[in-house]
Amino acid sequence: MMMLPFGNWLFSKAVCLKAPYFSTIKPYIKELKPGSCKAIMPKRRAVLNHIGTVHAIAQCNLAELCAGVMVDATIPNKTHRWIPRGMNVQYLQKATSDLSAIAEIHVPAVWQDKQDLIVPVEIFDNGGNLVFHADVTIYITAKKAH
């Protein structure tokens, strides 16, 4: 889908239909491949806090989106499933522009049952400054045989 005209835009909308809360940040998934996801979130009034910077929880939302979409594109979906289990975050600088997120992992050769996968996500402002870091814990389990 990403190679079709409007493919990234349509894919981003489809993700938001599947998980509607993500639509609150109007994300755009720029790149997705096994082990990597890059997404952007525009700075707009709806994601600002009382001091005019991008709200911390909007950044958490972007981090979870990026980590989750990447994991979904990476794990063997026929045999495994996943769910976010936690997130440790660091707010490093005020976020005052559109934001770009990157979630990247080394793809394991073998996926285990009942494992925690720590997905680091970094969020940058338009100037390339690192403004936010999250370690998203994703719980991966083998699907039950039917």
Unique residue bearing structure tokens 């082990």: 35
pLDDT, mean of residues 4-17: 86
Contacts of 33 (CB under 8 A, 6+ apart): 73
pTM over 0.85: yes
pLDDT of residue 59: 98
CA distance 123 to 30: 14
Tokens of 129: 């400054």
Tokens of 116: 């925690």
8 in a structural domain = no
7 in a structural domain = no
Domain count, the chain: 1
Task: Please report, for the domain that includes residue 130, its CATH number.
Answer: 3.10.129.10
pLDDT of residue 2: 59
**pLDDT (tens digit per residue) in 15-70:** 999 999 999 999 999 999 999 999 999 999 999 999 999 999 999 999 999 999 99
Share of the chain above pLDDT 70, in %: 96
pLDDT, mean of residues 101-118: 93
CA distance 142 to 125: 37
In this structure, the strands spanning 36-41 and 28-33 are: antiparallel
**Which pLDDT band, with edges at 50, 70 and 90, does 129 fall under?**
very high
For 66, the domain range is 18-142
pLDDT, mean of residues 118-145: 96
31 in a structural domain = yes
CA distance 140 to 146: 18
pLDDT of residue 7: 85
pLDDT, mean of residues 88-95: 98
* Ramachandran class of 16: left when φ > 0, alpha when ψ lies in -120 to 50, beta otherwise: alpha
